[in-house]
Amino acid sequence: GAVVSQHPSRVICKSGTSVKIECRSLDFQATTMFWYRQFPKQSLMLMATSNEGSKATYEQGVEKDKFLINHASLTLSTLTVTSAHPEDSSFYICSAVPRQGAFGETQYFGPGTRLLVL
């Protein structure tokens, strides 16, 4: 089946530093990837839609300068949290849609990255 990986799985950083999270589709090409944020005991909130070769589309209220998204290839999207602060601590999850997927095709989710900003 389709597998999506995320790296790192867990990261602890100091306030003010930047953190990069990678999302890779391991056995398929993905023209579209999504980035979600999940607070403890809450649902997933869509942050942005990442399309290969173009700028990401951010949801309302998400700071594009703080959460930099790069979708440089059909198998890799990165999320960089710039100048991280404790309130950015969260569980970040990516998902990928297969390139040949029919409309309404399933998204495949990564295992998530736990970010803790001290």
Partner 1 sequence: AQSVTQLDSQVPVFEEAPVELRCNYSSSVSVYLFWYVQYPNQGLQLLLKYLSGSTLVESINGFEAEFNKSQTSFHLRKPSVHISDTAEYFCAVSEHGGGFKTIFGAGTRLFVKA
Burial class (CB in 10 A: 0-12, 13-18, 19+), 90: buried
Does 22 bind partner 1 (CB under 8 A)? Our answer is no
Does 100 bind partner 1 (CB under 8 A)? Our answer is no
Q: Which stretch binds partner 1 (CB under 8 A): 14-22, 40-48, 71-79, 82-90?
A: 40-48
Answer yes or no: are the C-beta atoms of 49 and 78 closer than 8 Å: no
Give the three-class secondary structure for 96.
Answer: strand
**Sites for partner 1 among residues 55-84 (CB under 8 A):** none
**CB closer to partner 1, 16 vs 111:** 111
Q: Which stretch binds partner 1 (CB under 8 A): 13-21, 61-69, 72-80, 98-106?
A: 98-106
Burial class (CB in 10 A: 0-12, 13-18, 19+), 1: exposed
User: In the set 15, 27, 72, 111, which binds partner 1 (CB under 8 A)?
Assistant: 111
Buried residues in 77-89 as b, exposed as e (16+ CB within 10 A): bbbebeebeeebb
Q: Which residues bind partner 1 (CB under 8 A)?
A: 4, 6, 32, 34, 41-44, 46, 49, 93, 95, 97, 101, 103-112, 114
